[in-house]
Amino acid sequence: MTLAQLSIGSRGQVVQVEGVDEISLRLMEMGLVPGTEVTLLGAAPLGDPLELEVRGYRLSLRKSEAARVEVIVIS
């Protein structure tokens, strides 16, 4: 499952960030590294961008970027 597939209010744990380019590197620099817990707080009215809580701060990502982050759902 990816971050883009999480439902609002769900929590997940990052498994991996796909790709070996500037975008994947930037996602990891923003704290989306394996083992990090992420909560999907909401989405814009048309579904893009997504608002996440990561390591105590809020982060907005496009759905295309969130689709590169593989997560497992935690309760």
Instruction: Tell me if residue 58 falls in helix, strand or coil.
Output: strand
CB of 3 closer than 8 Å to CB of 16: no
pLDDT confidence bin for 47, thresholds 50/70/90: confident
Give the separation between CA 31 and CA 19, rounded to whole angstroms.
16
Tell me how far the alpha carbon of residue 64 is from its chain's centroid: 10
Amino acid at 46: L
Share of the chain above pLDDT 90, in %: 92
pLDDT confidence bin for 29, thresholds 50/70/90: very high
Domains of the chain: residue spans and CATH: 3-74 (2.30.30.90)
User: 53-75, pLDDT tens digit by residue?
Assistant: 999 999 999 999 999 999 999 96
Nearest to 43 by CA among 52, 51, 33: 51
